[in-house]
C-alpha cells in the first residue's frame, strides 16, 4: 500500500461522525452496501504509540476499549471510523455487549472498521468513499491486521439482494453509501440506513421475575395522555444483563399498574414507567402488540 509521504496537517482531535439517514428502500445507483452493525460507534485515533478511542459523542473510552485500540498495530498516524460489537449466536448483539462492558470484560469485543478519515498527515475526508475504503483495506493487507480488528466488507452490486440476505440472517439491516461522496460530519443523504427490523423505545410497565433476574418485560406506549399496553419482550438479554435489569426495576416497583386501561397479568410485578426498553420488532399486530420482539437495552427516562 502506498501511504502519504508528506505530513501537511497537525493530527486532529475527535472528528464528529457522519450519520446515516433512515430510508425504507434500498437505493439504486453507485453505492457501497455494508451490513449494519448493532454495537457502539467508535472512532480510533492512532498517533505513533498513542492510542485513543472516542464514542460517537466524543467521549474518551480508551480504557474500555484498550484491547481494540492496541490491536490496531500500525506505524504513523491514522483515524478510523467503525463499530465495536459482540457476535452472539451468529449476529451482533447489543445486550451482550452492554453486559460485557459492565463487567469490564474485553475478551469478546470485535471492531469492524468501515472508514478511514486520516492517514499520515493527510485529511482524507474530501476523497470519495470508495477511495477511502480502498485505502483502509490496504492498511489491513499491509500490516496484516487480525481480530479483534476486522475490515468491514461491502457489496457494490445489487443492494436489494444484500438487504434480503441480511433480513434472512436476522441482521439489523444495511447501510448504503454513495461511492463518490466525501465524508461529512453530519446526518446526510450520502449514507442511508435500511432496516430489516423496526426498533423503538417503550416504557417498561412491569416484569415477570425469575430466580436471578427477569423472565419478561411488560411494555407500554404513550398515546396522548394514555399509557397503553404494547405487549411483552422475553428475549435478547444474557443472564448478567437480566440481573442488571432486575436491579434497576426493583428501584421503581409500584403497588399498582400505571396503564390507563388495566390488564390482567397475575405474575406481573408492576413498576413506575421510569425506564425505557430499547426493542427490535418485526411489526405491530392488529391488536396493537409488538410481534417478534427482542430486547436491546435499558435506559432511564430523561
Cite the active site residues. Answer: 36
Single out the residue of 201, 238, 233 nearest to residue 217, CA to CA.
233
Q: Which of 37, 60, 184 is nearest to 111 (CA)?
A: 37
How would you classify the pairing of strands 198-209 and 214-223? antiparallel
**What cell was used for 155?**
457489496
| Cα 159 → chain centroid | 21
Q: What angle do CA 72, 78, 81 make, to 5 degrees?
A: 75
How far out from the chain centre does Cα 68 lie?
16
Cell of 252: 421503581
The residue count for the chain: 302
CA distance 217 to 290: 12
Amino acid at each position: 500500500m502506498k501511504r502519504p509521504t508528506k505530513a501537511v496537517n497537525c493530527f486532529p482531535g475527535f472528528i464528529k461522525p457522519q450519520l446515516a439517514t433512515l430510508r425504507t428502500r434500498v437505493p439504486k445507483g453507485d453505492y457501497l452496501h455494508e451490513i449494519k452493525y448493532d454495537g457502539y460507534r467508535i472512532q480510533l485515533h492512532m498517533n505513533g504509540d498513542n492510542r485513543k478511542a472516542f464514542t460517537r459523542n466524543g467521549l474518551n473510552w480508551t480504557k474500555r476499549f484498550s484491547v481494540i485500540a492496541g490491536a490496531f498495530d500500525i506505524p504513523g498516524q491514522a483515524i478510523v471510523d467503525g463499530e465495536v460489537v459482540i457476535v452472539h449466536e451468529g449476529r451482533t448483539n447489543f445486550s451482550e455487549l452492554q453486559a460485557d462492558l459492565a463487567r469490564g470484560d474485553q475478551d469478546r469485543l470485535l471492531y469492524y472498521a468501515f472508514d478511514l478519515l486520516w492517514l499520515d498527515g493527510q485529511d482524507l475526508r474530501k476523497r470519495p468513499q470508495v477511495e477511502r475504503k480502498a485505502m483502509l483495506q490496504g492498511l489491513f493487507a499491509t500490516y496484516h491486521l487480525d481480530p479483534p480488528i476486522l475490515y468491514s466488507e461491502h457489496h457494490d452490486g445489487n443492494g436489494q439482494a444484500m438487504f434480503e440476505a441480511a433480513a434472512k440472517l436476522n441482521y439489523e439491516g444495511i447501510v448504503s453509501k454513495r461511492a463518490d461522496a466525501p465524508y461529512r460530519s453530519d446526518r446526510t443523504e450520502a449514507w442511508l440506513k435500511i432496516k430489516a427490523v423496526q426498533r423503538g423505545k417503550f416504557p417498561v410497565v412491569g416484569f415477570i421475575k425469575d430466580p436471578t433476574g427477569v423472565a419478561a418485560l411488560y411494555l407500554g406506549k404513550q398515546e396522548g395522555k394514555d399509557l397503553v399496553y404494547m405487549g411483552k419482550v422475553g428475549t435478547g438479554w444474557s443472564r448478567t444483563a437480566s440481573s442488571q435489569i432486575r436491579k434497576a426495576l426493583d428501584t421503581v416497583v409500584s403497588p399498582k399498574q400505571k396503564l390507563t386501561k388495566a390488564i390482567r397479568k397475575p405474575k406481573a410485578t408492576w413498576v413506575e414507567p421510569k425506564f425505557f426498553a430499547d426493542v427490535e420488532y418485526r411489526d405491530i399486530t392488529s391488536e396493537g402488540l409488538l410481534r417478534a420482539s427482542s430486547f436491546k437495552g435499558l435506559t432511564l427516562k430523561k
